[in-house]
Amino acid sequence: MPSPARVLLIDDDETIRVSVARSLRDEGLVVLDAPDGSGLHRDLAAFVPDLVVLDWMLPGASGIQLAGSVRTSSDAAIVMLTARDDVEDRLRGFAEGADDYVVKPFAIAELVARVTAVLRRRGRVPAVIQVGDLVLDPDAAVARRAGVVLELTATEFRLLAFLAESRGRTLSKGQILTQVWGYDSVDPNLVEVHLSALRRKMEVHGPRLVHTVRGLGYRLSAVAA
C-alpha cells in the first residue's frame, strides 16, 4: 500500500493553520505546519512534501517568493492561499508554479477538496472515492450505487464528485455553485433542482446519502443527518 500523501502547510494565522491541518489529517494526509517559511528548505529536504499550501502574506519572505523557492528545489505541488483576488495576482501565482489558488475567506472543506484534487491528479491519493455503497471514479466520470452505474448528466456528476470529495462536511449553496458552476452569482435554486434529480437517481438503489442540513446546506454521508 502506498504511503499517505504529505502536505507542508505554511500560514501565519494560527487559527487557520490548526483548523486546516486537522482537516487534512482527517483525510488521512500527513501534515507538517509552520507559521512562516524560515525553515522551508529544511522541511522540503527532510519532510519531502507532495504538496505545499502557502499563504501569500507571510512574515519575512512572502508566499509568492516561497513558491519560487519550492519550484527550484522540489517537485511538490503548490496551493496558494490569499486575499488577493485580482486577475494579475492569480496569473502571477500560476506563473510562479501554483497548481491551484484559494481566495480568503474560504471554507475549509473547499480547501481540503482542492488539495485532494491536486493530489489525485498526481496519483498521490486514491482515484476512487467510496461512501457507503456509492463508488465514484472521477477520472473515468463513472458513479456506481450498489454496483449499478448511475446515468448522470455532466453537471450531476460534477455535483456528486464535489460532495464526495467533501464527504462528511456540510456545504453551502454558495460553495456548491462556485465549485460546480464556477461562480455563485446565479439562481441558488439551481442547486436544489440538480440535487433533487441526483437524489432520485441515487435513491432508486438505496437509502438517502445526500442529506439536507437545515439552514446550512448539504452533506454527503452514509450516516443520516
- Model pLDDT, residue 1: 46
User: Is the model's pLDDT at 211 over the cut of 60?
Assistant: yes
Q: Kindly report whether the global pTM for this prediction surpasses the value 0.85.
A: no
Q: Minimal CA–CA distance to 152: which of 193, 203, 117, 197?
A: 197
What tens digit of pLDDT does each residue of 129-161 get? 888 899 998 878 899 999 999 999 999 999 999
Asked if 211 and 219 touch (Cβ cutoff 8 Å), the reply is yes
Q: Which residue type sits at 89?
A: D
Show contacts of 94-98: CB within 8 Å, 24+ apart: 96/64, 96/67, 96/68, 96/71, 97/67, 97/68, 97/70, 97/71, 98/67
pLDDT band at 102 (very low <50, low <70, confident <90, very high): confident
Of 50-64, 92-106, 140-154, 210-224, least confident by mean pLDDT is 92-106
